[in-house]
Amino acid sequence: MKKIVIFFFLLSYLSFSCQSEQNDNKILVPFRDGKLWGYALSAQNIVIQPQFEETFFFQDGLAKVKKNGKYGFIDIKGNSIIAIDLDWAWEFENDIALVKKNNLWGYINKKGIFIIPNQYYKLEKFTDGLAIAQKTIEGKYGVIDKDNKVIVPFTYDEIYPFKNGIAKVGIEQKYGYIDTKGQIVVPLIQNAAINYTENLAKIRKNGEYGYIDTTGKMVIQPQFTDAEEFESVGLARVKKEGKWGIIDTKGNFIIQPKYEFIYPLKGKIGRIIHRKKYGFIDITNRKEIIAPEYESAEDFSADLALVKKDKNIYFINTQNQIAFHLTFDHAEPFYEGVAVVRKGSQYGFVEEHGKLITELKYKLVRHFENGFGKVQIQNGEWGFIDKKGNEYFRN
């Protein structure tokens, strides 16, 4: 008898352990039933009954929900943690959330307590520990820190987000830059077109473009007929003698100007046009890796790029080899290993080998984020699907 009891005890323990292990690997997904939203582990396993007008994914144990036109936050058991009485709320970041209540903005903690009172007509998200704020509809802009301490006085007509430790500010159509302590690093003498990236800004002189530093000194002499701002990789696209190339922050060409156009740099592989054909360059190794031969092309994503040639649509890899052909009318780049495709007016998704995840049946779709894609069915309602094509909604 004792052995039987021990056996059933072990069996129950193992069953519970396996169940717990499985649940640990699952997340609650916004689930729609008709017009109401709740949360589920699958279409057959609803955990929080649909009762909300809108739901959002859980982050750090809390999820934003909408009910009766107001927003709040619940826990994974469906308990209301922050009262659903907010005009709007952003998700929590670093344990605080930007929210609007009684038409004014402030920040709350995970207990729903305002750590920055809702006293601002406008308030931005924090970047580098600083947030742009405006107290009244006609008031000036300033900058506060996470203790609601004023770092930059409310004296500016405009303040742009901080990038690389500086922010553009404006007073009466004159613009300059301040640092994170509110000190002016570029005098307010420029026009709105002056934008510093990588501590350099393009400027036009005598019909040609060059670049100045934050002191106003010309560090790359005007010589380009057109130019773009420096991008995060420390490179800028410029046009000289009718062709586009790429320079570094010292003005040296890393890609010689010989292309009709170079698209914005989003990674180590850039997209170019030459003689009305599309190809690709390797920015790191400073060379052309795929000759311009395609009628159209999209940027590389997940080491695959969507191209069109001789009316055929397919994906290629970085060695210019065909990964797989498409029999669709339209396709988009990969996100999280999944790409949007369309045939006629019906949308669906394919995985990295070209296999359909779902049949083409959706009215509209949005690309995958955090493991899930959002789809619109023919009656106009939205819902989520996972990478196996499982639907998290009922109609």
DSSP string covering 142-185: EEEETT--EEEEEEESEEPPPBTTEEEEEETTEEEEEETTS-EE
What 8-state DSSP symbol labels residue 127?
B
Which domains does the chain show, CATH number per domain?
A: 328-395 (2.40.10)
Structure tokens at 139: 């008031």
d(CA 367, CA 94): 26
| Contact between residue 145 and residue 130 where contact means Cβ atoms under 8 Å apart | yes
One digit per residue, the tens of pLDDT, for the chain of length 395 reads 434 333 333 333 333 333 333 333 479 999 999 999 999 998 899 999 999 999 999 998 999 999 999 999 999 999 999 999 999 999 999 999 999 999 999 999 999 999 999 999 999 999 989 999 999 999 999 999 999 999 999 999 999 999 888 999 999 999 999 999 999 999 998 888 899 998 899 999 999 999 999 888 999 999 999 999 999 789 999 999 999 999 999 999 999 999 999 999 988 999 999 999 999 999 999 999 999 999 999 999 889 999 999 989 999 999 999 999 989 999 999 999 999 999 999 999 999 889 999 999 999 999 999 999 999 999 999 999 999 999 999 99
Residue type present at position 126: F
Regarding pTM above 0.75, the answer is yes
Work out the angle at residue 111's Cα, subtended by the Cα atoms of residues 60 and 88, and round it to the nearest 5 degrees: 80
Q: Which long-range contacts (CB under 8 A, 24 or more apart) does 113-116 make?
A: 115/146, 115/148, 116/144, 116/146, 116/148
Structure tokens at 214: 């934050």
d(CA 52, CA 39): 10
